[in-house]
Structure 1
Amino acid sequence: MARISALVLTVAAMVLTPVASQAGVLQCAPYARQVSGIQLFGAAATWWGQAAGQYGRGQTPRVGAVLAFRATGSMRSGHVATVSKVLDDRRVILNHANWSGPGMIERSAMAEDVSPNGDWTQVRVYYAPIGKLGLRASPTYGFIYGHGMPGADIALND
């Protein structure tokens, strides 16, 4: 297990891609929208609420889903990231932008559920500047499921 985690973290460190957007630094929301096909707009922290009634939402990771992060003092607009692979019930691989540095796209970044109830409400995410999972847990709402994917029809009216 430790070898797999080390390999994933090593791969994640190699897949950082600096990208300049036309309006400056590429943000997480436009990137997640492009990758997932989920058509939500505005600050990432508002995506969970916007998804109600439009997209399925839940606490189970699925490939193609968007993990929606809550706003915090250090992450005032929240964050969104797309799930590219589910490793097990507590670990996924994310693709996202602007997490480890301005305008950086990360492909194959490990995220680990560290919530006490195993419900993905707190995660630690690979952070390139330190080369491992971040030191603090980030609060999340859960996963937003795109149309046509497993779980897309759950919790539409919650």
Structure 2
Amino acid sequence: MSTTLRINGKAISVTAEPDTPLLWVLRGELQMNGTKFGCGMALCGACTVHKNGEPIRACITPLSAVGDADITTIEGLQGPEANALRASWTTLDVAQCGYCQSGQLMSACALLRKTAKPSDADIDAAMGGNACRCGTYPRIRAAIHQAASTHRVAL
């Protein structure tokens, strides 16, 4: 079945059944491998993408639930919040193995777009569904705080 999706600002036609997880379409059909497969049960956050600006788990989101929504993947993540986060991630050397980082960045960016100066509790709530096997949680929190500060200054 042919479906047209709006991914990273472009209309893209894909051939897949309506119950196919968005993650399989992104990775398998579209070769957008920045979004990772982790657990397949929406528990780890590695597959986080944005649907109309809200973080969702692509591993459990069927194509039928996407409709004409705007989907943003790590490949298409842009804007001042994303730039500030990438810079702080690099400055604070957040990533170790890096596997979870696209999902971490997607969740962090959605947080900063809603909350300009997040508290530790805000960060914990927004990032709670993102697992990091390397345990870089303190650096992730510090990077989000730094990005929020840098982003506010840049505005």
Structure with the bigger percentage of helix: 2
Structure with the bigger percentage of strand: 1
TM above 0.5, one fold? no
Kindly indicate whether structure 1 or structure 2 has the higher relative contact order, using CA contacts under 8 Å at least 6 residues apart: 1
TM-score (norm 1): 0.31
TM-score (norm 2): 0.31
